[in-house]
Amino acid sequence: MITLPGAAVPRRSHIRWTIIGLFVVAMVINYLARSVLGVAAPAIMAEQHISAEQYSWITGAFQVGIMFQPVAGYILDSIGLKIGFTLFVALWSLITMGHGLATGWLGFAGLRGALGLVEGSAQPAGMKLVAEWFPARERGVAGGIYQIGASFGAVFAPPLVAWAVFNHSWRAAFFVAGGLGLVWVIAWLAWYAPPARHRRLSATEHAYIVE
C-alpha cells in the first residue's frame, strides 16, 4: 500500500490481545472451580463421611464428563463463541455453586460429572478463539498465553479454600468460585463479538487478522 506524503497512517488496534486476556481470566476461573474440590477434600470427606473409594468415584465422574469435549466443540461451532461460551461458563458457575449445597458422595459425583461436561468447553473455545482472532503467525503465542490461566487457577485454589474454611466453611469456596464465573459472563457479553462485528476493531487490525 502506498501512503501519500502527509496522509494519516491508519492505526492498528490491538483488540485481539484484550480478547485473549479476557479469555485467560475465564481459564483461571475454570481451573479454580475444578481445583476447589481437591483442596477441600479432607474437610468434605470428614464432614460427609465419604470414603476414599467413594471419593475416587467422584473424581472419576469429572473425567468422564470432560471426555465429551468434542460435543462442546460442536456446540461452539454451531452457535458461536459469544453465546455458546456464555452458556457453558454460566452453567459451570452454577454447577460449581451447587457443590456448596451437595450432600453425600452420589450428589458430589453427579455434580462433578456435570461440571466436567461443561468445563470441557474451555479448550475447544480457546482454540476457536485463537483461530478466529489471530493470524497464523501469532497463534502459537496466543495459544500459549491462554493456557497460562490453567496454572493460575490451580495456584489460587488453595488460598481460596483456606480462607473459606477458616472464615466460613468449605462450601463458601464453591460459592465464591462460581460467583466469579457469573461476573465474568457479564464482562464477556459486554465486550466480546466476532472480529467481523466487533465495534472496537479497526479495519487495519481486521485485515491483519485475516491476511
Q: Is the dihedral of CA 184, 186, 187, 192 positive or negative?
A: positive
- Which tens digits make up the pLDDT trace of 25-36? 999 999 999 999
Residue 14 binned pLDDT confidence (cut-offs 50, 70, 90): confident
pLDDT at residue 49 above 80?
yes
Instruction: Give the H/E segment covering residue 53.
Output: helix 52-66
Q: Which residues contact 128 (CB under 8 A, 6 or more apart)?
A: 73, 76, 77, 81
Question: Which alpha helices (DSSP H) does 100-138 contain, by range?
Answer: 104-119, 122-133
Q: What's the alpha-carbon Rg for the chain, to the nearest Å?
A: 20
CA distance 47 to 43: 6
**Helix, coil or strand: residue 165:** helix
DSSP 8-state assignment for residue 197: G
Cα-to-chain-centroid distance, residue 175: 16
CATH class for the region spanning 19-188: mainly alpha
For 104, the grid coordinates are 453425600
How far from chain centre, in Å, is Cα 207?
Answer: 28
Domain ranges of the chain: 19-188
C-alpha cell at 17: 490481545
pLDDT value of position 154: 83
Query: In angstroms, rounded to a whole number, what is the distance separating the alpha carbons of residues 202 and 105?
Result: 52
Model confidence band, residue 11 (pLDDT cutoffs 50, 70, 90) = low
pLDDT (average), residues 3-12: 48
Q: Are 160 and 46 in contact (CB under 8 A)?
A: no
Tell me: the pLDDT tens digits for 120-141? 999 999 999 999 999 999 999 9
CB 126 within 8 A of CB 27: yes
- Which element (helix H / strand E) includes 3? none
Quick one: which of 174, 197, 194, 186 has its CA closest to 25? 186
Query: 45 in the Ramachandran plot: left (φ > 0), alpha (ψ -120 to 50) or beta?
Result: alpha
Confidence bin at 10 (pLDDT 50/70/90): low
Are the C-beta atoms of residues 150 and 141 closer than 8 Å to each other? Answer: no
Residue-level pLDDT at 3: 45
**Which pTM was predicted?**
0.89
Instruction: Give the pLDDT confidence score for residue 7 in this predicted structure.
Output: 42
